[in-house]
Structure 1
Amino acid sequence: MSIEFLKHVIEQYGYLALFIGTFLEGETILLLAGFAAHSPQFGLDLRWVILSAFAGSLAGDQTAFFVGRHYGRRLVARSEKWRERAERVHRMLAKYHEVLILSFRFFYGLRNLTPFVLGTADITVRKFFVLNAVGALVWAVAFALIGYAFGSLLENVLTRVIDNVHNAEMLVLGLAVAVVAAVWVVKRLRRR
């Protein structure tokens, strides 16, 4: 997906697009929504951006967990590639347990597969829900604020560039007026 397409989707569908985007994947659309929340032209509020992203991420991961809980073992058994990935997640779970559940959404390549595979593990629904909710909240706040901060930074840079362009324009205009005035004075003096 292109950035332009995601910007268009955010402009047209706002929080719903953010919810669906974070339900499916999320980092890019959340960063853009955080950025858009800084810009008044989009009409997004940062608090609602965070809430929509949190709800979308939580719902998506809970759905993947329940699909894994009910169909995961059969689906994993059908594919060698899936078995290898599932074994990798189970090894990480044995080593990092709660930390993995809290942080998987921050690591590229683990975001979509991990909650599905965790559904096949011996983790209670309640434990996964609580840790997943905490992780989703931290993730939503962090990425929304990064996007928002980038919007603020870009605005400050653009303001300075525009101010500098304005100052340069004034300098060029002043020089042009000085040159025209000097030429006029020289011509007046030559006529005398």
Structure 2
Amino acid sequence: MNLEHLIADYGLWAVGLGAGIEGETVVVLGGIMVHRDILAFLPAILAASLGSFLADQLFFTLGRHFRNHSYVRRIRARPGFQRALGAFERHPTLFVFAFRFLYGLRSISPLAIGTTSLPASRFLLINAVAALVWATVFISLGYVFGQAIEAMFGHVRAVEHVLLPLVAVAIIFGLAIHLIRGRREARAGG
């Protein structure tokens, strides 16, 4: 079994899981796989939507049920949490829809929103629509990016030539972001 078959068999699961854990980078890679005709467009969007939706619902629920837990109280002291709450208080519906598009607020926002009095049913509905829009945007960007790669380098048939460097770049990019965020949080906390 080659890499292309593995992606065709398990790619949608990877896109969904990656959308919930990492976010945009994995979803853009999913769009590139759509461009390569390894994944189908609509199922890739649905997988990314579902992964993002479930992760945000989980963090919203944790914020709602554990708002007085010491871990959540420590997170509430972070500047990002306060920025998320401030933006939410000014425009609750717009913020619930848009937080996943805002750098630096995507991961903490559902937890912060969970600590508010926003009805869970309202969050669920807005979150579902926002996850679908978000997934469509980033799968489409990956699809267009895939077209740009082919325009620049010609039509590369072997997926390994495109996928392995992209995965390596995505992993390095994700680790760099994780390290930068960790250092910022350490400076802010200490």
TM-score by structure 2 length? 0.72
What residue is the counterpart of 1:76 in the other structure? 72
Contact 2:63 2:72 in 1 (8 A): no
Q: Which residue of 2 aligns with 1:27?
A: 24
Paired positions, count: 150
Residue 133 (structure 1) aligns with? 128
Superposition RMSD in Å = 2.2
Q: Which amino acid aligns with 2:77?
A: R
Distance 2:146 2:114 in 1: 37
Alpha-carbon separation, structure 1, partners of 2:109 and 2:19: 15
Q: Which residue of 1 aligns with 2:35?
A: 38
Partner of 2:141: 146
Q: CA deviation at 1:11?
A: 6.5
Task: Confirm or deny: 8 A CA contact 2:49 2:131 kept in the other structure.
Answer: yes
Please give the per-residue CA displacement for 1:94-134, whole angstroms capped at 9, x wherever unaligned: 11211110011111211111001111001001110111111
Q: Report the Cα distance in structure 1 between the residues aligned to 2:154 and 2:14, rounded to whole angstroms.
A: 30
Deviation at 1:13, TM superposition (A): 2.8
The residue aligned with 2:86 is 91
Distance 1:50 1:13 in 2: 15
Structure 1 residues 137-166: Cα deviation after superposition (integer angstroms, max 9, x where no partner)? 110000000000111122123339xxxxxx
Report SS of the residue matched to 1:90: helix
Q: Check the 8 A contact 1:54/1:137 in 2, yes or no.
A: yes
Percent of matched pairs sharing the same residue = 34
1:50-129 aligned within 5 A: 50-74=45-69, 75-77=71-73, 79=74, 82-84=76-78, 85-129=80-124
C-alpha distance in structure 2 between counterparts of 1:140 and 1:27, whole Å: 8
Whole-angstrom distance in 1 between the partners of 2:24 and 2:106: 10
Matches of 1:136 and 1:17, distance apart in 2? 17
Does the CA-based 8 Å contact 2:35-2:146 persist in structure 1? Answer: yes
Gaps of 5+ in 2: 156-190
Q: Larger relative CO (CA 8 A, sep 6+): 1 or 2?
A: 2
Amino acid at match of 1:55: L
- Counterpart secondary structure, 2:66: helix
8 Å CA contact retained: 2:29, 2:142: yes
Query: TM-score, with normalisation over the residues of structure 1?
Result: 0.71
**How far apart, CA to CA, are the structure 2 residues paired with 1:73 and 1:123?**
17
Matched residue, 2:166: none
**CA–CA distance in 2 between the matches of 1:24 and 1:158?**
31
Q: In 2, distance between residues paired with 1:54 and 1:158?
A: 31
CA distance in 1 between counterparts of 2:83 and 2:102 reads 14
